Amino acid sequence: MRILQLMAAGAALALAIPTADAQERDDSFKWTGGIEAGRTVYARNLNGAIRVESAAGMTVDVRAVKQWRRGDPKDVTITAEKTSRGDILVCAIWEGRRTRCDEDGYSSRGGDSWIKGRDNDVSVEFTILLPKGVKLDASTVNGALGIAGATAAVKAHTVNGSIEAASAGGPVIAKTVNGSIRVRAATVG
């Protein structure tokens, strides 16, 4: 009987300990801000997907989920802010001593790596709710872009990933190096 109890306790302990392949998640980033029609939401990511859906009102909602196996999620900072022009800038920034993120994308001075270390496998998956009449400029290096419900101009760019984008009220410009593109647009741009 004692052996059976020890075996049951050992099995329960083995199930409670995550395996080396287990992926951890942190979905604590949430941001909400108002925006006017005609303005732009800029979304920038290096490693992970960006998904965009339509919003019910004139509020942009941003949710981000960090996922990793061996990386350190503290090495990735997520920001969302309203710019002086009234646009919204959303960025995932991998800690580098001189890395910047702005409307034009990422920049790094002095040879710093955007993603610190080869063992940093942290990815960020964004979900953004986009209001009617708001333009979108979204880019990621390693990840897919899924854009549905846009009603203004859309720019979508990824290096390694597919793009599926639709806009009922503006042109869609989509570019990828390694991936497929599916676009539906009211006008071609």
- Give per-residue pLDDT as tens, 18-76: 444 567 888 789 999 999 999 999 999 999 999 999 999 999 999 999 999 988 899 89
pLDDT greater than 90 at residue 150: yes
Domain for residue 18, yes or no? no
| pLDDT at res. 25 | 81
| pLDDT at res. 13 | 44
Domain for residue 59, yes or no? yes
Angstrom distances, CA of residue 18 to CA of 8, 24, 113, 136: 18, 9, 30, 39
Angstrom distances, CA of residue 80 to CA of 27, 52, 109, 111, 171: 15, 15, 22, 26, 25
| 79 CB-contact burial (10 Å; exposed 0-12 / middle 13-18 / buried 19+) | middle
- Find the DSSP H helices in the chain: 2-16
Whose CA is closest to 124, among 92, 163, 160, 157? 92
Residue 127 CA from chain centroid, whole number: 7
Domain for residue 4, yes or no? no
Q: Phi first, then psi: what are they for 74, rounded to 5°? A: -70, -15
User: What's the first-to-final CA gap in the chain, in angstroms?
Assistant: 74
Q: Phi first, then psi: what are they for 69, rounded to 5°? A: -115, -50
Burial 134-153 (b: 16+ CB within 10 A, else e): bbbbbbbbbbbbbbeebbbb
pTM across the whole model: 0.82
Domain hosting 52: range is: 23-188
Higher pLDDT, 28 or 134: 134
Domain for residue 97, yes or no? yes
Q: How many domains is the chain built from?
A: 1
| pLDDT at res. 27 | 78
Domain for residue 116, yes or no? yes
Domain for residue 69, yes or no? yes
| pLDDT at res. 118 | 57
SS3 per-residue string spanning 34-71:
ECCCCCEEEEEEEECCEEEEECCCCEEEEEEEEEECCC
Residue with tokens 């960090």: 66
Domain for residue 42, yes or no? yes
